[in-house]
């Protein structure tokens, strides 16, 4: 039995599985909204509260790893821990308390893993696609055709970073939206240059913000999207624009009342939606 732990900026995720007959058999999965970047991500620092939340999550994971008699554990850290000045201190504390070592992966490797995972989740079209993964610390963008990656880049403009920079009003103000769009225009020049070259015509969204988009469309808009697999649904442009408009005009309290809204995404979903739209 093996376990992998994804130490993301918003959530820590544990998967326990075994490989038999050349297939992966999942036995247990747990996701904890640690928000390791909250309050310090734009200063490249894990603050004390986030540090404690991270250790507490690993403690929960350790219980399950022991329960399932896992023989091998792999921890992968991304943007927030990768860039934190006290990231090594956090890794050392995890090693001391639980005996786990952390592998910190670069954004380029993260982008490649994301593309491979998305590719195996449903049947890709025969034309170039753009895969967009909105994390808390970084955003991975990959253009590919079928299994072949044509271009990839990681941008340090994740939802936690955008939230602390631009979403200070409730609901977000017109001025903040304008400033956010100007920021994205500057940061995403390499992406739009690549789009001109490779001309993808399909956008495939990955990670929690896109899951929230689908959940809100289904549970709050009462729309049943076309499904390509258990992990892949198609959202119309009209439903997408309605979702973005709702995120722009609603307060945190109003978003919390949505049936499709996950509690720990209620604060970051507005900037994520604006990034999707941009």
Q: What pTM was estimated for this model as a whole?
A: 0.89
If asked whether residues 23 and 72 sit together in one domain, one would say yes
The Cα 64–Cα 250 span in angstroms is 38
Structural domain of 218:
108-277
Domains in the chain: how many in total?
A: 2
If asked whether residues 178 and 114 sit together in one domain, one would say yes
pLDDT, tens only, 111-124? 999 999 899 888 89
pLDDT, tens only, 43-81? 899 999 999 999 999 999 999 999 999 999 999 998 889
If asked whether residues 97 and 178 sit together in one domain, one would say no
If asked whether residues 211 and 249 sit together in one domain, one would say yes
% of the chain with per-residue pLDDT over 70: 100
**pLDDT (0 to 100) of residue 207:** 84
If asked whether residues 131 and 206 sit together in one domain, one would say yes
CA distances from 251 to 240, 263, 268 (A): 19, 13, 12
What angle is formed at CA 260 by the lines to CA 258 and CA 264, rounded to 5 degrees?
85
Buried b (16+ CB within 10 A) or exposed e, 224-247: ebeeeeeebbebeeebbebbbebb
If asked whether residues 145 and 12 sit together in one domain, one would say no
pLDDT band at 277 (very low <50, low <70, confident <90, very high): very high
If asked whether residues 183 and 268 sit together in one domain, one would say yes
N residues, the chain: 278
Residue 143 pLDDT exceeds 90: yes
Residue 228 pLDDT exceeds 80: no
**pLDDT (0 to 100) of residue 242:** 96
**pLDDT (0 to 100) of residue 77:** 92
Instruction: Give the residue from 84, 105, 126 where a domain finishes.
Output: 105
The Cα 35–Cα 39 span in angstroms is 9
If asked whether residues 116 and 213 sit together in one domain, one would say yes
If asked whether residues 50 and 183 sit together in one domain, one would say no
Instruction: Give the residue from 105, 127, 162 where a domain finishes.
Output: 105
Decide if 10 contacts 159 (C-beta within 8 A). yes
pLDDT band at 247 (very low <50, low <70, confident <90, very high): very high
If asked whether residues 135 and 229 sit together in one domain, one would say yes
Instruction: Give the residue from 89, 105, 121 where a domain finishes.
Output: 105
């Amino acid at each position: 039995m093996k376990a992998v732990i994804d130490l993301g900026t918003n959530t820590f995720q544990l998967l326990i599985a075994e490989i038999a007959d050349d297939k992966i058999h999942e036995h247990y999965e747990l996701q904890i909204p640690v928000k390791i970047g909250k309050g310090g991500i734009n200063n490249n620092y894990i603050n004390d509260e986030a540090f404690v939340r991270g250790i507490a999550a690993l403690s929960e994971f350790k219980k399950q790893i022991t329960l399932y008699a896992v023989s091998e554990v792999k921890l992968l850290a991304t943007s927030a821990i990768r860039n934190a000045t006290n990231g090594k201190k956090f890794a050392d504390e995890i090693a001391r308390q639980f005996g786990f070592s952390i592998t910190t992966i670069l954004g380029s490797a993260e982008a490649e893993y994301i593309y491979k995972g998305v590719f195996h989740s449903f049947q890709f079209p025969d034309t170039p696609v753009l895969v967009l993964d909105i994390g808390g610390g970084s955003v991975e963008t990959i253009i590919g055709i079928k299994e072949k990656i044509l271009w990839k880049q990681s941008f340090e403009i994740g939802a936690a970073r955008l939230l602390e920079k631009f979403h200070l009003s409730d609901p977000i103000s017109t001025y903040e939206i304008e400033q956010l769009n100007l920021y994205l225009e500057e940061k995403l020049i390499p992406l739009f240059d690549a789009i001109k070259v490779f001309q993808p015509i399909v956008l495939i969204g990955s990670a929690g913000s896109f899951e929230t988009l689908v959940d809100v469309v289904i549970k709050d808009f009462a729309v049943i999207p076309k499904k390509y697999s258990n992990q892949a649904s198609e959202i119309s442009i009209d439903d997408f624009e309605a979702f973005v408009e709702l995120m722009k005009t609603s307060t945190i309290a109003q978003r919390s009342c949505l049936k499709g809204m996950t509690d720990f995404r209620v604060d970051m979903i507005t900037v994520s939606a604006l990034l999707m739209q941009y």
